[in-house]
Amino acid sequence: MPEKNYSSDRHMVGRAIADITGEPAEVGMLGYGKADQKTTGIHLRLRARAFVFVDPLVDRRVLLIVTDLPLIFSSITQEVLRRLAQRFGDTYTESNVMLTATHTHCGPGGYSHHRLYNGSTGFRPATFAAIVDGIVEAVEGAHEDLAPATLRLAHGELRDASVNRSRAAFDRNPQEDKEFFPDAIDPQTTLLRIDREGEPVGAVNWFATHGTSMTNRNTLISGDNKGYAAYHWEHLVEGVNYLADPDPDFVAAFAQTNAGDMSPNLDGSPGHGPTGDEFENTRILGLGQYEAAAKLAAEYMPRMAGTIDYRFVYVDLSAVTVSAEYTGDGREHRTGRPAGGAAAFAGAGYDGPTHWKTFHEGRNPGWDFLSRLAYRFAPTLRDTQAPKAIVAPGGLLNRFRPYVQEIVPVQLIQIGELYLLGIPGEVTITAGLRLRRTVAAVVGAEPADVLIAGYSNAYFHYVTTPEEYDVQHYEGASTLFGRWQLPALQQVAAQLATALRDGGTVPSGPAAPDLSELWKSSKITTPPDFPPVGRQFGDVLTEPSPAYRAGEQVSVEFAGAHPNHDLHRGSTYLMVQRHDGARWRTIADDGDWETTFSWAPGPASSSRVTIVWHSPADAPPGSYRIRYFGDAVESGRDRAPISGTSPEFRIHHEDHGN
């Protein structure tokens, strides 16, 4: 039973949610590296969930932000910190703010300041602004929400939600590492529950699986399996209405950890496992993560009494001297300038191969031969990068215009008995285990209480063990700074952990450069709108049927406008409404799982908007309608709101007829 003495709560916690959905049309999606995967609408809106944890006894706080984004780049972190400094002074800084991504592969890109990640999109100021504005809004809400709280921590296991997509590389690890993961997966699910006066008001869950249930064929914005897990707990279980509840009663974040080689595609190919339907797979994998977290939440969870603390450092990962204590071979080694290997261009087979058909995971004979020649004449390069078949010398490309990040943040946060090691990349489970053991040994914690907070504060691609690196699968080829990158990070993690344990300091190091000036001139112009010939904006082009059985799909097509004119952040492009006898009541919007909002260009700069509602099997019988909301910019005119309303249709249950 939970303790009843709530007045003894040591901590204060604030939580909030905000919309961070970017441009839903004609923007390249980030994650799969597929140039023709461009947004055409919304299935599930992207959100930021912010949590402020305070220990008043020592006057310290940390801010954890979990975002439904593909990746976090320093561009976002730097601008968010700039905005928070304007609002809160030195309350929130790079040291005590951890900004993480769930790593969905179905969000719009174009928000990085490094050239590699904007290749198919250019820089998208509107998407960048939506992300930053939403994150800051969530932080402001969490800051205002601060109140006494009880923190509780529990661990469990979740299986049938991940599979190792790089088993040959995993199997190269020493037996003691493999024995820790007998199924080659990390099944640990960790829940941090936040209570007020004995009632749960928030939760953060960590579990390792990729955000790739939605495939590279999908073009609708989606938070993928972790986005669904949060939506399910908040909206379907706790009744949070994202549009109507500015201060939700419950906030649930599903964060990533060491998911580098963990795939949700259980059958070993994109969109397969446990079913052949990517939407259903997303729901099932998200539901599984929710159910595992909810099971922990329903059981006895001990109260955490520890303090709040943090340490932070910038590291130039291209030039770290790694002591023999961490290298494993008894010798000192160095990291090298960033370089992408041939297998990095092949993609990960379980989750989505790229369009580069000439590259493969493992051996790439031509590139292998060229790299062996280079290594013969450059022994320093060989010692850091071999046996990688180098295709993209990031260090060289950085000389022309910033291509990938080299000075990266590493962070250690303590929340009670929980330690989060913030790594700005994708860490395999065995690499994560070594980092966790490194920190745990220093601070005297159990490894289960030390988690890798992957995808935090910036991005530098993958982290593999030296043994995994040698196989040169996708993950090893994407370990940019060479074979000794993980030992270098272990060395840094030990320094942070020692300083935190002893109350010491760590020199923060030279900060990553601010590259925003390189992209300030970027402007994206959306063409003017024209309705289809003989039609007006908002006209219904394809009407719904007069009646549907509950559980059937309803589709309506409207004469619309380009949705990028106004992103409707914190609002919606659609409403599904039911007549309750007195008025029309909204029962779903574009942030709901059962709706999709799709845009397609028509002739002569017209737009066709299709709204689909998958009516629930338990939808009450009655009269329904679907509404569309957009914004049109006609030639020579200012932006103006437009709307359309479908004819009424009825929902009935089969045994009641029409």
Give the phi and the psi of residue 494 in degrees, each rounded to 5.
Answer: -65, -40
**CB 431 within 8 Å of CB 468:** yes
607-614 and 553-560 strand pairing: antiparallel
350: which residues sit within 8 A by CB, 6+ positions away?
163, 165, 263, 265, 268, 269, 270
This prediction's pTM: 0.96
Q: Which two tokens stand for residue 407?
A: 């000075």
How far apart are alpha carbons 236 and 287 in whole angstroms? Answer: 11
Give the phi and the psi of residue 71 in degrees, each rounded to 5.
Answer: -150, 160
Q: Tell me, what amino acid is at 234?
A: E
Question: What is the arithmetic mean of pLDDT over 348-372?
Answer: 84
How far apart are alpha carbons 326 and 349 in whole angstroms? Answer: 31
**623 has catalytic annotation:** no
The catalytic position among 222, 263, 371, 606 is: 263
Asked if residue 303 has pLDDT above 50, the reply is yes
Predicted local confidence at residue 346, as pLDDT: 86
Per-residue pLDDT of 119-159, as tens digits, reads 878 999 999 999 999 999 999 999 999 999 999 999 999 99
Burial tier of 464 (Cβ tally within 10 Å: 0-12, 13-18, 19+): buried
Question: What is the arithmetic mean of pLDDT over 305-327?
Answer: 97
Whether the ω angle into residue 274 lies within 30 degrees of 0, i.e. cis, is yes
Predicted local confidence at residue 505, as pLDDT: 95
Mean pLDDT (the chain, rounded):
95
SS3 content of the chain, % helix, strand, coil (to 5): 25, 30, 45
Predicted local confidence at residue 654, as pLDDT: 76
**Partners of 262 in the β-ladder:** 164
Q: Which two tokens stand for residue 604?
A: 């002569």
Predicted local confidence at residue 214, as pLDDT: 98
> Nearest Cα to 257, choosing from 449, 469, 94?
449
Asked if residue 599 has pLDDT above 70, the reply is yes
Asked if residue 3 has pLDDT above 50, the reply is no
Q: Which two tokens stand for residue 557?
A: 């097509």
How far apart are alpha carbons 546 and 544 in whole angstroms? Answer: 6
Residue carrying the six token digits 């008043």: 56
Give 263's pLDDT tier (boundaries 50, 70, 90). Answer: very high
Question: What is the arithmetic mean of pLDDT over 160-169?
Answer: 97
In the DSSP assignment, the letter for residue 517 is G
Asked if residue 217 has pLDDT above 60, the reply is yes
How far apart are alpha carbons 388 and 472 in whole angstroms? Answer: 6
Predicted local confidence at residue 602, as pLDDT: 93
Long-range contacts of 320-325 (CB under 8 A, 24+ apart): 320/481, 320/484, 320/488, 320/491, 320/492, 322/484, 322/487, 322/488, 322/491, 323/491, 325/491
Asked if residue 657 has pLDDT above 60, the reply is no
Asked if residue 7 has pLDDT above 60, the reply is no
Question: How does 322-355 read in b/e, with b if 16+ C-beta sit within 10 Å?
Answer: beeebbbeeeebbbbbbbbbbbbbbbbbbbbbbe
Q: Which CATH number is 540-656 given?
A: 2.60.40.2300
Q: Tell me, what amino acid is at 634?
A: E
Q: Which two tokens stand for residue 563?
A: 């949705």
Per-residue pLDDT of 423-449, as tens digits, reads 999 999 999 999 999 999 999 999 999
Q: From the CB of residue 256, how many other CB atoms can be counted at a distance below 10 Å?
A: 27
Asked if residue 4 has pLDDT above 80, the reply is no
Burial tier of 643 (Cβ tally within 10 Å: 0-12, 13-18, 19+): middle
What is the helix (H) or strand (E) element at residue 47, kind and residue range?
strand 47-55
Q: Tell me, what amino acid is at 356?
A: W
Asked if residue 627 has pLDDT above 70, the reply is yes
Predicted local confidence at residue 353, as pLDDT: 75
Give the phi and the psi of residue 59 in degrees, each rounded to 5.
Answer: 55, 50
Asked if residue 6 has pLDDT above 60, the reply is no
Q: Which two tokens stand for residue 431?
A: 């690499």
48: which residues sit within 8 A by CB, 6+ positions away?
17, 18, 19, 20, 65, 66, 67, 68, 131, 134, 135, 137, 138
Provide DSSP, 233-248.
IIIIIT---TTT-SS-
Stronger pLDDT, 284 or 346, i.e. the higher one: 284
How far apart are alpha carbons 447 and 569 in whole angstroms? Answer: 40
97-101 and 41-42 strand pairing: unpaired
How far apart are alpha carbons 497 and 502 in whole angstroms? Answer: 9
Q: From the CB of residue 624, how many other CB atoms can be counted at a distance below 10 Å?
A: 24
How far apart are alpha carbons 201 and 308 in whole angstroms? Answer: 20
DSSP, collapsed to helix, strand or coil, labels residue 420 as strand
In the DSSP assignment, the letter for residue 637 is S
Question: What is the arithmetic mean of pLDDT over 277-305?
Answer: 97
Per-residue pLDDT of 380-393, as tens digits, reads 999 999 999 999 99
How far apart are alpha carbons 362 and 339 in whole angstroms? Answer: 16
Most confident of 76-80, 375-379, 397-401: 76-80
Predicted local confidence at residue 255, as pLDDT: 98
Percentage of the residues of the chain whose pLDDT score is greater than 70 = 98
Predicted local confidence at residue 121, as pLDDT: 87
Where are the chain's structural domains?
6-313+405-472, 540-656
Asked if residue 604 has pLDDT above 90, the reply is no
401: which residues sit within 8 A by CB, 6+ positions away?
115, 518
